[in-house]
Amino acid sequence: MEYAVEIRNLTKDYEIGFWRKKRVRALDDLSLNVRSGQIFGFLGGNGAGKTTTIKTLMRLQFPTAGSASILGEDISNVKMHGRVGYCPENPYFYDYLTAREVMDYFGQLFGYDRPTREQKTKELLAKVGLNEKDWKKQLRKYSKGMLQRVGLAQSLINDPEIVFLDEPMSGLDPVGRRQIRELIAGLRANGVTVFMSTHILSDIEALCDEVAILRGGKLTAAGDLNELLAASEGAGSFEISVDGVSAEAIREDIEFIAGAQITAKPQGAGIMVLDEADIEAVLAVTRRAGGRLTSIEPVKQSLEDLFVRDIDPADPGIK
């Protein structure tokens, strides 16, 4: 199967208010395909519609319009969810149960016999780095990070073919984040598709093959992470640093080069050109003015640049 998730024109409106109900659009005509066997990063600011999308896919909410399928089956197919794992944002479980009991409960919902449930519980709680002495504590005594680990463990109890992780690193310390990153990479190595939303861009850069960026419920970018970065504004440019000459002395000549920009630096100037072919012209101008080349570096766009470009901090997201 080429696509693990197919989303077609998904729209979700919420009604707010008591008497005079007002409609707000949380998700606006979202169409998206997620290839099987990859780690897919789902990005967006607060209120962009990430959690709404995941909740709709998990049939916790019903779409206002559009449809979606997971593993080739419509999301309304309850049985299909037996092949899916889900860890909600800030996972909540029965706080009167222990971690072992929660795992056992979910294992029973999948129809596993007792020895299988016990084996899976031990294996998964250890895999998410939950200390064995805490397995018999009631969840009401757990920290946020410990609950997050239980959330991840339960999402894998049925050996899912695809797992949806909503902010999986939330509440974890640096060691925990590293463990979970390794766990997620391990899932991909075993052929599991991972669909994760996160605010931690370094995790996306380290793990994801493809990403989608949402803003105000609309898709603003989607595709291979490296291709998106390469195609984004500023990618393919070069920054040339020179010293022994002031920016003002060469500004006029530099601005003759199409698209070139010059900025003053303490020891000299920085010049950005859009094309590699223009580097020689910049060097010639600098030499004529008595300057000296110190470095030439290709301009790399980071995911943060891409993210910030697509997310307007003044925009509350939901329209």
Partner 1 sequence: MPNEGPGFLPRILTIAKNAFRESVRDRILYNLIVFALLITASAIFLGELTAGQEARVIVNLGLSATLIFGAFISIFSGVSLVWKEIEKKTVYSIFSKPVGRGEFIVGKFFGLSAMLAVNIGVMGIGVTLALLYVGGRGLIGGVWASVLLIFLELTVLTAVAIMFSSFSTPALSALLTFFVFLIGHFSVSLLDLANTMGSSSALGFFTAVYYLLPNLSHFSFITETANGMLPPPQMLGGAALYALVYNVILMTITVAIFSRRNFK
Per CB under 8 A, residues contacting partner 1 are 14, 55, 58-62, 78-86, 88, 91-97, 105-106, 108-112, 151, 154, 158-161, 164
62 vs 153: CA distance, rounded Å: 26
96 or 256, CB closer to partner 1? 96
Query: Residue 271 corresponds to which tokens in the numbers above?
Result: 């010049």
Our CB check for partner 1 shows the closer of 52 and 286 to be 52
For partner 1, give the closer residue by CB, 141 or 287. Answer: 141
Q: Looking at beta carbons only, is 190 or 256 nearer to partner 1?
A: 190
- Closest CA relative to residue 38, chosen from 228, 191, 229, 213: 191
Residue 111 Cβ vs partner 1, minimum distance, rounded to whole Å = 3
Closest C-alpha to 116, from 126, 106, 128: 106
Of 78 and 277, CB closest to partner 1: 78
To partner 1, the closest distance from the beta carbon of 319 in angstroms equals 17
Q: How far is the CB of 123 from partner 1 (least distance, A)?
A: 15
The distance of closest approach from Cβ of residue 132 to partner 1 in the complex, given in angstroms and rounded to an integer, is 22
Question: How many Å is the maximal CA-CA distance in the chain?
Answer: 82
Q: Give how far the C-alpha of residue 148 lies from the chain's centroid of Cα atoms, to the nearest Å.
A: 17
- Kindly report the backbone phi and psi dihedral angles of residue 139, in degrees, each rounded to the nearest multiple of 5, phi listed first: -65, -20
CA nearest neighbour of 9 among 56, 44, 43, 48? 56
Closest contact distance (angstroms) between CB of 181 and partner 1 is: 23
